[in-house]
Amino acid sequence: MFIIIAGAGKVGYHLARALVADHEILIIEQDPDRVDFVAAELGTDVIMLGDACDAATMEQAGMERADLAVATTGDDEDNLTFCQISKARYSVPRSVARINNPQNEGLFRKLGIDSTVSATNLILGHIEQELPWRGLIPLMTLTGLDLEVVEVRVPRDALTAGKQVKQLLLPQGSLLCLIISEGTPRLPAPDSTIHAEDILVAVTSIDSEEALRSALTGPPGNP
Amino acid sequence: MFVVIMGCGRLGAELAVILEADGHDVSILDVDKYAFDHLPVDFKGQKVLGDGTDQDTLRRAGAERADAFVAATRGDNRNALAVQIAKHVFQIKRVGGVIFDPIREEVYRGLGIRTINPTKLEAGLLRQSIEREED
């Protein structure tokens, strides 16, 4: 694959280093010192000096030939612009963006960025798995479908505890897939009962996340 | 109308002043507190110190009840992100942004965002003024 990476910071550099043996890699970086460093470590043909969102630079980089655009800079606005131009102007089939402000993750996906990676949200997910919490934990995103697989633990005081699956009012576009009670997974049937502390796995459209959260763990309240 | 403006440089401040003169309510954002010096002393609107590409800051500036949003900073990518947050997160009906790079502006216009390209506008105006003097 031909992969173009915006930003030769730590994320961009280590990504390129991991991929360079098997793929054609080009990093676009604005800082000349950083360009020199990467050129010395990985070779001069792996790195190019320039603004990754600038059309002349993108053309020179061979953007129209790229199979994958990866934005790794520390600025969400630059990552979004790089991915959007890659797709809209150069028809790059797939784009991946690093998310710095976790609030931007839903927006980026809505705007057609194929994959997003937020270190903050990943760490939050790990912390939340350890703590009692009413939130949904995103497990994975289904590429290009605006759907995600989420996990939630039914709180002790949840209105849903003791109810049957058919009594739940799930939002449109959401589907309960699995109930895990005391470590044993079972497929939900209409008359399956949901207990406090059960772990529920569901598929949901990103827009329905909040409605699904309150349907599964209500009452809506503070974590 | 209630209008939220991101960027209180000369352009944003000027826009805020003329909108206020037209009778609109204005809330204006900037990351630099000294940028508000571009506003006249009798400016009545809300001044919000903060980053307009952050959803919480936009909420603080009143984005949830805004009728219009304009991104007028010097940064094309910042303006593009803010405009898309205004449109898709806050569902603001009228959104517009300044994009200086003509090619980037074309891309964003293609994506359905109302954009103004000062570079092309100014070049056109300069051409007009030169051609007129030749007459």
- With bands split at pLDDT 50, 70 and 90, how would you rate the model's confidence at A139? confident
Task: Give the span between the Cα atoms of B116 and B97, in whole angstroms.
Answer: 6
Could you tell me if residue A222 is inside a domain?
A: no
Q: What is the pLDDT of residue A223?
A: 38
- With bands split at pLDDT 50, 70 and 90, how would you rate the model's confidence at A160? confident
Same domain, A27 and A72: yes
CB < 8 Å to A88, chain B: 107, 110-111
Same domain, A95 and A6: yes
Examine the fold and report which residue of A90, A119, A148 is the final residue of a domain before the chain moves on: A119
Same domain, A6 and A115: yes
Domain boundaries, position A79: 2-119
Could you tell me if residue A102 is inside a domain?
A: yes
Could you tell me if residue A55 is inside a domain?
A: yes
Same domain, A160 and A63: no
Could you tell me if residue A143 is inside a domain?
A: yes
For A79, phi then psi, to 5°, come to -65, -40
Task: Give the span between the Cα atoms of A136 and A145, in whole angstroms.
Answer: 19
Give the one of A54, A76, A88 whose C-beta lies nearest to B53's C-beta: A76
Could you tell me if residue A58 is inside a domain?
A: yes
Q: What is the pLDDT of residue A88?
A: 94
- Mutation pick from B31, B55, B79, B81 vs chain A, by most beta carbons of A within 10 Å, is B81
Examine the fold and report which residue of A56, A86, A119 is the final residue of a domain before the chain moves on: A119
Could you tell me if residue A207 is inside a domain?
A: yes
Residues of chain B with pLDDT under 70: 133-135
Q: Both ends of chain B: CA-CA distance in Å?
A: 43
Q: What is the assigned CATH class of domain B2-134?
A: alpha beta
Examine the fold and report which residue of A68, A97, A119 is the final residue of a domain before the chain moves on: A119
How many independent structural domains does chain A possess?
2
Q: What is the pLDDT of residue A7?
A: 97
Q: Six-digit token pair at A161?
A: 């505890």
Same domain, A80 and A164: no
Could you tell me if residue A126 is inside a domain?
A: no
* Shortest Cα distance, chain B CAs vs residue A28, angstroms: 16
**What is the CATH classification number for the domain harbouring A60?**
3.40.50.720
- pLDDT tens figures, B88-119: 999 999 999 999 999 999 999 998 889 999 98
Burial (CB < 10 A; 0-12, 13-18, 19+), residue A16, is buried
Q: Six-digit token pair at A55?
A: 């059309």
Could you tell me if residue A84 is inside a domain?
A: yes
Ordered by start, the domain boundaries in chain B are 2-134
Assess contact for B115 and B99: CB atoms under 8 A: yes
Q: What is the pLDDT of residue A221?
A: 44
> Taking an 8 Å Cβ-Cβ cutoff, which residues of chain B contact chain A?
53-56, 75-78, 80-81, 84-85, 88-89, 101, 103-104, 107-108, 110-111
ipTM of the complex: 0.88
Same domain, A112 and A136: no
* Shortest Cα distance, chain A CAs vs residue B58, angstroms: 12
Q: What is the pLDDT of residue A131?
A: 60
Same domain, A103 and A182: no
For B27, phi then psi, to 5°, come to -125, 130
Same domain, A142 and A193: yes
Task: Give the span between the Cα atoms of B82 and B29, in whole angstroms.
Answer: 11
Same domain, A26 and A112: yes
User: Checking DSSP bridges between strand A24-29 and strand A2-6, what pairing results, if any?
Assistant: parallel
Element (H, E) at A26: strand A24-29
Q: Six-digit token pair at B118?
A: 């000062």
% pLDDT > 70, chain A = 95
DSSP reduced 3-state for B65 = helix
Contact (CB<8Å) A107/B56: no
